């Protein structure tokens, strides 16, 4: 019995779903505390935890290094759910990028999509960077290892015929980048994020003037044509009035998504899906990045099969008609 209790305690500490009395404990991996992933995880947990008597669930949120970490932790059983970019879903499931040596991660499952995330490129005015091509020879933060944005940065560079050898690449966390830019230790930084965002506001409101660089051109048209998880995006200029831009900024982006593993308890996945979808208007009030969410667009941008628990809810409310048939495999 003592060994069993120790094993259960270790399982709860690692983040796998566990039970205490009539309550099951569930963890969601998010991202850095200054990004949108962490408050997104918090929004989901608050809504589910308010109905602990109904669902018997206690959801907690862990700050992590981002999409890659969350996917790997979900697959290993260290997390029950994770927030991850739609492109990272695709790459893991198909054994690409960080998963090239590991092979296809076919136990990964989608739950639903969340807010759009724009690939955002911020440059100091003094750097004279006005396009992606101008990054050559500049000091540029691409994103920390384990984050989804690192691959996005590499994809954008590659679209314009650049590699990390063409720039002075840095790999710091997004929370550090605005300060480094304002201190003159970076010329520019990438950040894939939902808007409005506190880090971007910090970067655009400092002593040094900054420019939000459009990510557009025939090179991006080719990127969109060859990568189904990317789509065109627009960052409203009004969100960052201190930037020197005069109009909205065109770019590309992905979707933030909630993922889990094929082995996740269908009842838990169903409960979380039901709570968010049945109370979507309340959920949308919890962060400005959720403003454009609809039941329908929360089924768009998914790139791995749906978990049966989520699919059960979508069947019940008639939303399955909006699901890509290739995502229904279980």
> How confident is the model at residue 16, as a pLDDT?
53
Instruction: Tell me the pLDDT of the chain averaged across its residues.
Output: 91
Residue 95, pLDDT > 60, answer yes
pLDDT band at 181; cut points 50, 70, 90: very high
d(CA 106, CA 41): 24
> How confident is the model at residue 18, as a pLDDT?
58
> How confident is the model at residue 8, as a pLDDT?
37
Residue 15, pLDDT > 50, answer no
pLDDT band at 20; cut points 50, 70, 90: low
H-type alpha helices, the chain: 2-14, 37-49, 52-55, 67-76, 86-94, 149-159, 177-182, 198-204, 218-226, 266-278, 280-284, 308-316
pLDDT band at 9; cut points 50, 70, 90: very low
Q: Which of 2-11, 19-28, 238-247, 294-303 has the lowest mean pLDDT?
A: 2-11
> How confident is the model at residue 273, as a pLDDT?
98
d(CA 112, CA 259): 8
Region 209-213: what's the mean pLDDT? Answer: 98
pLDDT band at 19; cut points 50, 70, 90: low
pLDDT band at 306; cut points 50, 70, 90: very high
Q: 165: which DSSP letter?
A: G
Residue with structure tokens 């920390």? 144
> How confident is the model at residue 228, as a pLDDT?
83
| 21 vs 24, more confident | 24
> How confident is the model at residue 292, as a pLDDT?
86
β-sheet bridge partners, residue 249: 235
At 253, phi and psi to the nearest 5?
-160, -175
Region 246-262: what's the mean pLDDT? Answer: 96
> How confident is the model at residue 1, as a pLDDT?
35
Q: Is 0.85 topped by the overall pTM?
A: no
Indicate the SS3 state at residue 166: helix
> How confident is the model at residue 60, as a pLDDT?
98
Region 248-265: what's the mean pLDDT? Answer: 96
> How confident is the model at residue 286, as a pLDDT?
92
Percentage of residues of the chain with pLDDT beyond 70: 93
Indicate the SS3 state at residue 69: helix
Percentage of residues of the chain with pLDDT beyond 90: 80
Which domains are seen in the chain, by residue range?
2-115+256-327 (3.40.190.10), 117-254 (3.40.190.10)
Residue 46, pLDDT > 70, answer yes
Region 17-40: what's the mean pLDDT? Answer: 85
- Say how many C-beta atoms besides its own lie within 10 A of residue 147's C-beta: 28
């Amino acid at each position: 019995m003592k060994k069993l209790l120790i094993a259960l305690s270790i399982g709860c500490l690692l983040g796998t779903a566990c039970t205490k009395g009539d309550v099951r404990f569930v963890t969601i991996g998010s991202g850095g505390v200054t990004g949108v992933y962490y408050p997104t995880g918090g929004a989901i947990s608050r809504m589910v935890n308010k109905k602990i008597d109904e669902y018997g669930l206690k959801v907690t949120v862990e700050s992590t290094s981002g999409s890659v970490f969350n996917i790997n932790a979900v697959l290993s059983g260290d997390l029950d759910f994770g927030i991850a970019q739609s492109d990272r879903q695709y790459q893991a499931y198909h054994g690409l990028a960080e998963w090239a040596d590991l092979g296809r991660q076919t136990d990964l499952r989608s739950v639903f999509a969340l807010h759009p995330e724009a690939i955002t490129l911020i440059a100091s005015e003094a750097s004279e960077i006005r396009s992606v091509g101008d990054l050559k020879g500049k000091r540029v933060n691409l994103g920390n290892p384990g984050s989804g944005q690192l691959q996005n940065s590499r994809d954008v560079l590659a679209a314009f015929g650049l590699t990390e050898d063409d720039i002075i690449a840095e790999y710091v966390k997004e929370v550090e980048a605005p300060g480094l830019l304002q201190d003159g230790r970076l010329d520019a930084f990438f950040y894939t994020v939902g808007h409005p965002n506190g880090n971007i506001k910090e970067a655009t409101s400092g002593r040094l003037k900054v420019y939000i660089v459009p990510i557009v051109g025939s090179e991006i048209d080719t990127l969109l044509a060859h990568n189904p998880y990317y789509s065109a995006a627009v960052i409203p200029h009004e969100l960052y009035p201190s930037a020197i831009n005069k109009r909205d900024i065109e770019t590309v982006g992905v979707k933030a998504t909630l993922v889990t593993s094929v082995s996740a308890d269908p009842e838990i996945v169903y409960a979380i899906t039901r709570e968010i979808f049945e109370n979507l208007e309340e959920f949308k009030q919890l962060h400005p990045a959720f403003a454009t969410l609809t039941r329908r667009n929360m089924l768009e941008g998914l790139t791995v099969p749906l978990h049966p628990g989520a699919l059960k809810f979508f069947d019940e409310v008639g939303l399955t008609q909006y699901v890509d048939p290739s995502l229904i495999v279980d």
